[in-house]
Chain A
Amino acid sequence: LPAGLSQWFPALEVLDVSGTGLAEMGTELLSLPCLHTLLAKNNRLGGPGSLPKGLGQAPLARSLRVLNLSGNRFAEVPPALLRLRGLRSLSLGGNRLHGIPPDIQELHSLEFLYLGGNFITAIPPELAKLPSLRYLVLCDNKIQSIPPQLAQLDSLRSLSLHNNLLTYLPREILNLVHLEELSLRGNPLVVRFVRDLTYNPPSLQELAGRTVKTRNVPYAPSDLPESLVRYLSLASNCPNPKCGGVYFDSCVRQIKFVDFCGKYRLPLMHYLCSPECSSPFSSASQSSTSQSESDSEDEASVAAHRMQKVLLG
């Protein structure tokens, strides 16, 4: 960045230095108090000096709303970037990122996050702590699974996951009530029903814990070691509505397919408390016309109907 930039243009709000071969952005940035948009795509940024020291204390940390660093050489998200608390829109598309730092949650004003075209293999659950996130792009990466916590992204309207390594999605994805756009093509999604039951039998501790919970055995913190009180608080409810049981660590992973408009079947990962729960709710209430492999949960079909619009292809 040219020296004296902030002296000549103290009121600068938008700075576009894209395609200039920039390898470093220096301290000039720190004295631009009005800057809300910084576009620096297609440069040579990514090394240690890419962002100036002291960024967290500069006025920029509060004023910057839009930052575009796509098409550079970042191998990791620079920690300094996470101090930009006012940031609404961040693009790091087309870089060399291998992961997303859990501290991404510090960018609590973030609404738009573009991370497509990197080498990301996993998504930290902390990403779900971004309360205003509306648009999340993770396409063209190497992601193998989506943490179920992502369902906490209440504001999410669009999720781009195409061209990754996903074989299934967590069933919680259906809880994203505002999700209108979901791209999944180019993933090796499981197509056939998977009777994958690498079921490790529950430990004695687990069996005892299940009994305490399902029989409502009363207990007080003074009755048990703290570790067991904590353990009991981690019980998860079996999603099988006919079960009402709980599980702790020992659960059955099963992929069930949710029908989208009868044509597109999405493999969702369910956790059930025992192999008995996994037999598809084959009781008399099951409609005779439904497919034996498809899921007939009401809430799933409502969510499916909502998302059918752009899920296809």
Chain B
Amino acid sequence: MEQPVQTEMLKARSLEELVRILHQIFAEDKVSVEEVQALMESYESNPEEWLKYAKFDQYRYTRNLVDSGNGKFNLMILCWGEGHGSSIHDHTDSHCFMKILQGNLKETLFEWPEKKMNGEMTKKSERVLRENQCAYINDSIGLHRVENISHTETAVSLHLYSPPFDTCNTFDQRTGHKHKVTMTFYSQFGERTVC
């Protein structure tokens, strides 16, 4: 990946400031993964600032667009009810940053299934991400499943994808078969999108 262009540690003191600094960073030609991850981690989650984007759905997790980054990135908030989880998915050659704003999320990493393989996908590792932690993944690292394993607490996470993408592949854990899906937004900029 690109070399870091700045060595100073940026800190975002509010969600608004985070968005502003992200715009600055992504306006450059080269962007450092470490810098973005550190910046996102530096923002101390303040529900008052993001509550208006946090729209939950009873049946599944939701994706709520916060900022469309001048086309360079998408910043969105995901809301996970108790027991809600994602399928195993890739990231369509983009960078994915995931920061926990509330609750906990379990991330399970998987190896890419081999072409000829017709058996169970290989789990690489798993971890539980705590509030304010920020994880990073891209296709060269592998695939992952994200889930809220709590039966009592909801979870909220802040995601940055660069470049933005609206399709990805989901994978069947038992066979490694993949299936392309289109992702949609439950809300954009705080407004519920009706489809």
Residues of A within 8 A of B (CB): 41-42, 70-71, 91, 93-94, 112, 114, 116-117, 134-135, 137, 139-140, 157-158, 160, 162, 180-181, 183, 185, 189, 191, 261, 263-264, 308, 310, 312-313
Contacts and interface: CB of A to CB of B under 8 A. Distances in A.
11 contacts: A114-B151, A134-B58, A137-B83, A140-B151, A183-B85, A263-B175, A264-B179, A310-B60, A312-B179, A313-B145, A313-B173
B102 to A, nearest CB: 15
Contacts of A134: 58
B172 A312 contact: yes
Interface class of chain B by DSSP: loop
Contacts, number: 73
B59 A180 contact: yes
B97 interface: no
B117 to A, nearest CB: 13
A125 B72 CA distance: 53
Interface class of chain A by DSSP: loop
B133 to A, nearest CB: 22
Interface residues of B, number: 24
Given A261-B179, A313-B172, 4 more contacts: A158-B58, A263-B177, A313-B145, A313-B171
B170 interface: yes
Interface in B77-96: 82-83, 85-89
Contacts of B177: 263-264
Contacts of A139: 83
A162 B151 CA distance: 13
Contacts of B85: 162, 183
Contacts of A114: 82-83, 151
Contacts of B127: none
Contact of A71 (B58, B87, B145, B152): B152
Contacts of B86: 313
